[in-house]
Each structure stands twice: as structure tokens, then as C-alpha cells.
């Protein structure tokens, strides 16, 4: 959740502490989004998992879900770390060219 709050602050060019109303509003938005994602996953997770178990069996369901988890983990890693790493690398390469 802190990453989401920081991204909203950057997107709307808001500095923390300047406007208490906006700070509270952004915190409410982040908390609402987290609560919504949690509620949706708690509701739909067992339904989807149960249907997959019935259709594919235990072993195949575990394999499918592990592949899906790996893909989502890679996407999250790329979007949370990838851009920063590429930006730092670009800045480093520019500094090397100046030398």
C-alpha cells in the first residue's frame, strides 16, 4: 500500500504534509483499493479454485496456479523494480559517456 500512495502523490504532484485533506483522501483511496482487492479475492478465490479442482483435478490445479502466481510475481517485480533499475542504468550510462 505505501507504493500505491507514493505513486498517487507523484501522479498528482502532491507533497505529503502540505494539505491534510489530500493526505487523508489519498490514504482513504489506498485503503479502499486494498480492502476491495482483499474482498474480491476472498469471494472469488474459493469459487475459481473449486471449479478448477473439479475440472482439472488436484495436481493440474496446483500446476496451473503455480504458473499463474509466477507470471503475476514477475509482472509485479518488473513494474515495482524494473523501471527504477532501467532508469538508474540509463543515468549511469550517460555519466560514463561524459567521462
Question: Are 67 and 78 members of one domain?
Answer: yes
41-95 pLDDT, tens digit each:
999 999 999 999 999 999 999 999 999 999 998 888 777 676 666 666 677 777 7
Question: Are 50 and 79 members of one domain?
Answer: no
Q: How many domains does the chain have?
A: 2
Q: Which domain holds residue 80?
A: 57-99
Question: Are 12 and 40 members of one domain?
Answer: yes
20-41 pLDDT, tens digit each:
777 788 788 888 888 998 999 9
To the nearest 10°, the Cα dihedral for 11, 16, 18, 23?
80
Question: Are 1 and 39 members of one domain?
Answer: yes
Question: Are 76 and 48 members of one domain?
Answer: no
Question: Are 39 and 67 members of one domain?
Answer: no
The answer to whether the predicted template modeling score (pTM) of the entire model surpasses 0.95 is: no
Question: Are 5 and 38 members of one domain?
Answer: yes
DSSP for 15-51 reads -TTT-HHHHHHHHHHHHHHHHHHHHHHHHHHHHHHHH
**9: closest CA among 42, 38, 76, 22?**
22
Count of alpha carbons within 13 angstroms of residue 62, beta-carbon side: 2
Amino acid at each position: 500500500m505505501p507504493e500505491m500512495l507514493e505513486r498517487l502523490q507523484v501522479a498528482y504532484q502532491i507533497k505529503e504534509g502540505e494539505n491534510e485533506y489530500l493526505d487523508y483522501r489519498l490514504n482513504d483511496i489506498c485503503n479502499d483499493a486494498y480492502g476491495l482487492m482483499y474482498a474480491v479475492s476472498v469471494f472469488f478465490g474459493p469459487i475459481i479454485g473449486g471449479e478448477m479442482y473439479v475440472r482439472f483435478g488436484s495436481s493440474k490445479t496446483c500446476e496451473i496456479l503455480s504458473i499463474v502466481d509466477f507470471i503475476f510475481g514477475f509482472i509485479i517485480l518488473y513494474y515495482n523494480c524494473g523501471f527504477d533499475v532501467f532508469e538508474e542504468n540509463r543515468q549511469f550510462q550517460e555519466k560514463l559517456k561524459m567521462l
